[in-house]
Amino acid sequence: MSTPLKGRTAVVTGAGRGLGRAEALELARLGAHVVVNDYGRPGRDGTGGSDATPAELVAEEIRAKGGAATAHCGDVGDHQQAAELVQLAVDTYGSLDILVNNAGILRDRMIFSMTEDEWDSVIHVHLKGHYNTTHFASRHWRERAKATGGPVFGRIVNTSSEAFLAGSAGQPNYAAAKGGIVGLTTSTALALAKYGVTTNVICPRARTRMTEDVFAGFAEPAEGLDPLAPEHVAPLVGYLASPAAAHVNGQLLVVHGGMVAIVERPRVRAKFDTAKDVFTYEELDALLTPHYKDRPPGETFAATDVLGLAHDG
């Protein structure tokens, strides 16, 4: 069996179940030591009354298969707990090589009905959680690079969503957080490249406890692997975490159901120059109004076409 991550150490956040669990298992299968993070509590959140937390159960599952894993039960949206998570990886296995930011929650509501807490809690877990772990991991890699006098091995895989790309009307908090994560990814990719660290972001589509209401209308097949199974996503995370992906940096990829799509960066569609020193209202009206007049009424900056992507097999 190929083990391209042998000797590497990975942190996976929100890995007590669903997508994070599948990613943690895949990284372990590829040879990595895995620190399994999740905020879940014992006896709840799918542990079936067990005294172990979801993170501990996944770590036990990895060890039962011959891998190395340890659990961290904490909130990545908390700055200090994120610092402790990164330090746990370093203290336990000697270094940190791979960071997979997956932890997230949903608090869906239309913008006019959303409460401040529903907004803040989603931003806290998704966007601040990504920042917190990235901050401490990047400091670790920067210090290692300075100590060795050259690049080190570092991989960050962030998690955005098609909700950001397509503009999900009932998820303004989630779409905003996921859009922020894309910005964080491209900024981090440029900042850390000189240290040997790559940073990429995926938009996965998977049936998990968090998305069970979102995909309630899509029945699981009677036979075969569910097209929305997290196992379709995990191999891409394993690849992006590997030495083979050394030249993949600052990229956004959509993945689900046996399909990976590379999303291109935005392009400038049109450009207008003032005929004077500064635009006037009248000049902008004469230029922009006819430009937008014949555009389809529902067409915005959102890339709704990504929702139609599917495996062609």
> Taken in order 140, 142, 148, 153, is the CA torsion positive or negative?
positive
Q: Which of 39, 93, 178, 242 is catalytic?
A: 178
Marked catalytic residue, from 160, 174, 195, 242: 174
Contact criterion met (CB below 8 Å) for 25 and 60: no
CB atoms under 10 Å from CB of 248, counted, come to: 17
Report the DSSP pairing between strands 197-204 and 252-256. parallel
174 carries an active-site annotation: yes
Catalytic residue among 128, 138, 160, 161: 161
113 given a catalytic annotation: no
Active-site annotation holds for 195: no
The rounded Cα 291 to chain-centroid distance in angstroms is 36
Helix 129-148 × helix 79-93 angle, to 10°: 40
State the DSSP code for 66. T
Beta strands in the chain (DSSP E): 9-12, 33-37, 69-72, 98-100, 154-159, 197-204, 252-256, 259-263
**Catalytically active residues, by annotation:** 161, 174, 178
